[in-house]
Amino acid sequence: MRSFNRLILGVFLLLCVMAAAAFALPRHVAVERSAVINAPESDVYPYLINFRKFNEWSPWAKRDPETHYVFSGPKEGKGARMEWNSDNPDVGTGDQEIVEVEANKSVLVTLDFGAKGTANASYTLSPSGAGTKVTWGLNTDVGNNPMGRWTGLLLDRWVGKDYEEGLANLKQLVEAKSPGR
């Protein structure tokens, strides 16, 4: 019985240390990936400001072709919205809205994943040789929840891989269609 009590006490102390250590972890988490697309900014930009085109290169659209989408607001640019609902946990449910644009330079998007939280995504375009460097970023506040803070450590690994796949898809799509090449 004494060993069992020590084991329980040890587990409790470990959980307390992990909870306390969580508050030393960052509250704000950022993920960013970039790719160079061999096309001018004006050929890339339309795929970033139109959610109907987003699904042509999104890594999540391929994961669940049965995802239900609802588009609202303007067709493209500021105010354009997309809601999605999927039974696939890798796709999930949420909505996104374009809240700021600078033609051929940047796009800012707010994301709402319901109970899983909110985030901001961004796309920046800059000249790179004869092409365009596209940087896709994500910023989120994981809050004061210790589990959220520990999960934040994994966000770069999880989302970063998806962003790399999405940028590779975008590169292939734009380069195949770009008259500026």
Q: Is 7 inside a domain boundary?
A: no
Supply the Cα-derived Rg of the chain in whole angstroms: 20
User: Tens digit of pLDDT for each residue in 50-101?
Assistant: 999 999 999 998 899 999 999 999 999 999 999 999 999 889 999 999 999 9
Number of domains comprising the chain: 1
Q: Is 65 inside a domain boundary?
A: yes
Q: Supply the pTM of this predicted model.
A: 0.84
Looking from the CA of 95 toward its CB, the CA atoms found within 13 Å total: 12
Q: Is 9 inside a domain boundary?
A: no
User: Tens digit of pLDDT for each residue in 164-181?
Assistant: 999 999 999 999 987 655
Query: 143: phi > 0 → left, psi -120 to 50 → alpha, else beta; which?
Result: left
Q: Is 86 inside a domain boundary?
A: yes
Q: Is 13 inside a domain boundary?
A: no
User: Tens digit of pLDDT for each residue in 26-50?
Assistant: 677 889 999 999 999 999 999 999 9
Q: Domain range holding 36?
A: 27-177
Residue 11 clears pLDDT 90, i.e. is over it: no
Q: Is 142 inside a domain boundary?
A: yes
Q: Is 106 inside a domain boundary?
A: yes
Sign of CA dihedral 177, 125, 72, 65: positive
Q: Is 125 inside a domain boundary?
A: yes
The domain spanning residue 154 has which CATH number? Answer: 3.30.530.20
User: Tens digit of pLDDT for each residue in 110-153?
Assistant: 999 988 889 999 999 999 988 999 999 999 887 777 766 667 66
Strand, coil or helix: what is 97?
strand
Pick from 30, 13, 21: nearest CA to 147: 21
User: b/e string for 70-84 if b means 16 or more Cβ within 10 A?
Assistant: eeeeeebeeebbbbb
